[in-house]
Amino acid sequence: MAKQPRAWQRMLSGRRLDLLDPTPLDIEIEDIAHGLAFVARWNGQTIGDFAYSVAEHSLLVEALFGRISPNAPAKWRLAALLHDAPEYVIGDLISPVKAAVGSGYGELDDRLVAAIHIRFGLPATIPTTIKRQIKKADRISAWMEATRIAGFSVTEANKFFGKPDPTLITDLDIRLRPPVQVRSDYTNRHNTLLRQLT
């Protein structure tokens, strides 16, 4: 009889997260923050002494979302912060790899997103209008990263990510920091937003 492959990941919190059937009970923000702080965007192909982490990217996306939708309630800002949270266990695949992998990646991501949202008091799926605003913030962040640390020309970035409204990125910068600092800031921002939900 063939042995079933292991489909769960042991977390530093001690939780055992089943990737194929995730439950909100096995999700902790400390695990998410830790994982995302060590996952590099752009496959690590960025300038600087530290990788640009998914946790740092998520903080920027949440800030951009707040500029795009300044009156959005805290729950949607929290959704923006958590938009890439599944990557704490499945990694950050660049778009060309996601296209090659196909629908399986998206289905896995969707299951994890639903469990993460439920764990932190959000609906399993968020409204399409909010998703679009988060995606807009995500693309602006990608443009900033591409032109500032990933070696893209402005022309290339405009082609792939769209030209951002300059007023949305005024005074925002790309920060390259040690994972421990980013992990702490991500956790603190999450906790601040979570307190605002009640």
pLDDT digits (tens, 9 = 90+) for 26-80: 999 999 999 999 999 999 999 999 999 999 999 999 999 999 999 999 999 999 9
Question: What is the helix, strand, coil percentage profile of the chain, to 5?
Answer: 60, 5, 35
Q: What is the pTM (predicted TM-score) of this model? A: 0.93
Share of the chain above pLDDT 90, in %: 83
What pLDDT sits at residue 107?
86
Q: Which of 5-9, 166-170, 181-185 has the lowest mean pLDDT?
A: 5-9
Over residues 9-17, the mean pLDDT reads: 93
Q: Which residue has the higher pLDDT, 63 or 93?
A: 63
| Residue 198 banded pLDDT, cuts 50, 70, 90 | low
Q: CA-to-CA distance for 135 and 139, rounded, in angstroms? A: 6
Nearest C-alpha neighbor of 64 from the set 162, 124, 140:
140
CA distances from 50 to 46, 67, 108, 156, 160 (A): 9, 27, 29, 24, 25
| Residue 2 banded pLDDT, cuts 50, 70, 90 | low
What pLDDT sits at residue 51?
95
What pLDDT sits at residue 113?
96
Do the Cβ atoms of 107 and 90 come closer than 8 Å?
Answer: no
Q: Which of 20-29, 96-105, 168-177, 186-195 has the lowest mean pLDDT?
A: 96-105
End-to-end alpha-carbon separation of the chain, Å? 51
Nearest C-alpha neighbor of 138 from the set 83, 77, 76:
83
Which domains occur in the chain, in start order? Answer: 25-195 (1.10.3210.10)
